[in-house]
Structure 1
Amino acid sequence: MLENLHKKKKELLKEFQDILPDNLPNELPPYRMHQHKIMEEPGSKPTFRAPYRLSPTELVDMKKQIKYLLAKGLIRPSTSPYGVPVLFTPKPDGSLRMCIDYRALNMQTIKNKYPIPRIDDLLDQLRRATVFSKLDPQSGYWQIRMADNSIHKTAFRTRYGSY
């Protein structure tokens, strides 16, 4: 049975290699049936915040990460009226994770009211299951394409420019 599961896993990974690649391509994800849209409350104004003050270490890391994201085609220079700051949080290994502070934008977005499943209901549904799996897509947040009419809302500002 275990060998059969490994075979089935390989078949599934091959079938869905476009959404579960070993390495991410140096480009935006393909257009799919759904793109992420940012819908704002009526009357909202573009969110614009000055860059935060960062340590010398964070500035060096930010330059590296921006260079990497530009090379991957995941960001581009921006002239959007929107723009929010960047901050850093430590990763478990001690390196820095660059985060974009979208809190101001989030305050004026229309919230998705669809109910989240209850954990106890999900556990009830899994009660007789014998096989469990877990997927951890590589940089999953970069694998969902942004709707073209929302891209300008995701601009972030740094002392080196807006992206």
Structure 2
Amino acid sequence: VPGVAPVARAPYQLAPSEMKDLSEQLKELSDKGFIRHSSSPWGAPVLFVKKKDGSFWMCIDYRELNKLTVKNRYPLPRIDDLFDRFQGSSVYSKIDLRSGYHQLRVREEDIPKTAFRTRYGHYKFQVMPFGLTNAPAVFMDLMNRVCKPHLDKFVIVFIDDILIYSKDEKEHEEHLKAILELLKKEEFEDFIVYCDASNKGLGAVLMQREKVISYASRQLKIHVKNYMTHDLELGTVVFALKIWRHYLYRAKCTVFTDHKSLQHILDQKELNMRQRRWLELLSDYDCDIHYHPGKANVVVDALSRKEREPPLGVRALVMTA
């Protein structure tokens, strides 16, 4: 609801065993780029739910946030209607999308609202977390649009599950092939990152499907101004990968730079400690580095030369989900 005051609740008391799970799961979510540290005025408490295998699953208690959320009234299907669709079929399969909601990004302006408070710090989600009142509707709407060509013919979508039903095994094989090809076709295209460095700062642009997702720039710190050009350009690539980790981790991306030698950085044998450290970070990403002439890099070049008022820092200028 627009204009409401942020709500923050004190963290719940957790058992020692839950504290250990909390620490491990926070690290895992952070390493994947799903969460980051926050100073948001919003804050939901954390609790744990025991799974069938005896392990504990960290959940965020978003009940207070959900009370203030304008509800998405997207209709969820009735169970009896779903069973009616199965009449005449005898072979079934279920596709459960990996990481479900975590495949959806939260709009930049809404990220602070997903903040949650723990003994180990204040965090916020950059991907869709479980527990938000509109999460099932948003996800199901997306999956229905993706599966629309086959919907109610041999496919049913129920939140994050895709159900395929057929009369016999031969038909089922054809149906599975059709839906898997459709899902593969709907996969996101590779991310494109344009990077540039100047004697004033670093600049980068993140794109996908020829549309800008985000711009970012940062002024150089005093000691960084002494870096060789090669290190500055490589540092810009590292800067971009870090700030957009939640987009680029485990995703295919192509990085364009106007420094030719960076294309062969992975093949170089003589590297300083800084370069080795950065290359270790690069190895976490599925990215290719290509040369892109400076004249074609006008926007990024302008960002790298942009004057800033102190304090110096990173800022996402534009963000879309």
Q: TM-score by structure 2 length? A: 0.36
Identity of aligned residues (%): 57
Shift of 1:114: 2.7
Letter in 2 for 1:117: P
2:29 corresponds to 1:76? no
d(CA) in 2 for partners of 1:149 and 1:133?
Answer: 38
Letter in 2 for 1:113: R
Over the aligned positions, Cα root-mean-square deviation in angstroms equals: 1.5
Shift of 1:107: 0.8
d(CA) in 1 for partners of 2:107 and 2:86?
Answer: 35
Q: Greater shift after overlay, 123-132 or 143-152?
A: 123-132
Listed one character per residue, the Cα deviations across residues 90-118 of structure 1 (whole Å, up to 9, x for unaligned) are 11111111001101101111112233222
> Which residue of 2 is the match for residue 54 of structure 1?
14
> Which residue of 2 is the match for residue 31 of structure 1?
none
d(CA) in 1 for partners of 2:23 and 2:8?
Answer: 21
2:94 corresponds to 1:134? yes
Letter in 1 for 2:83: L
Shift of 1:119: 2.5
2:60 corresponds to 1:100? yes
Secondary structure of the residue aligned to 1:63 is helix
Ranked by relative contact order (alpha carbons within 8 Å, sequence separation 6 or more), the top structure is 1
Structure showing the higher helix proportion among its residues: 2
Structure showing the higher strand proportion among its residues: 2
Q: Greater shift after overlay, 117-126 or 142-151?
A: 117-126
- The unaligned stretches of length 5 or more in structure 2 are 124-321
d(CA) in 1 for partners of 2:116 and 2:76?
Answer: 29
Counterparts of 1:22-33 in structure 2, within 5 Å, are none
> Which residue of 1 is the match for residue 110 of structure 2?
150
d(CA) in 2 for partners of 1:134 and 1:111?
Answer: 28
d(CA) in 1 for partners of 2:89 and 2:120?
Answer: 52
> Which residue of 1 is the match for residue 76 of structure 2?
116
Residue-pair matches, total: 123
Q: Greater shift after overlay, 135-144 or 122-131?
A: 122-131
> Which residue of 1 is the match for residue 299 of structure 2?
none
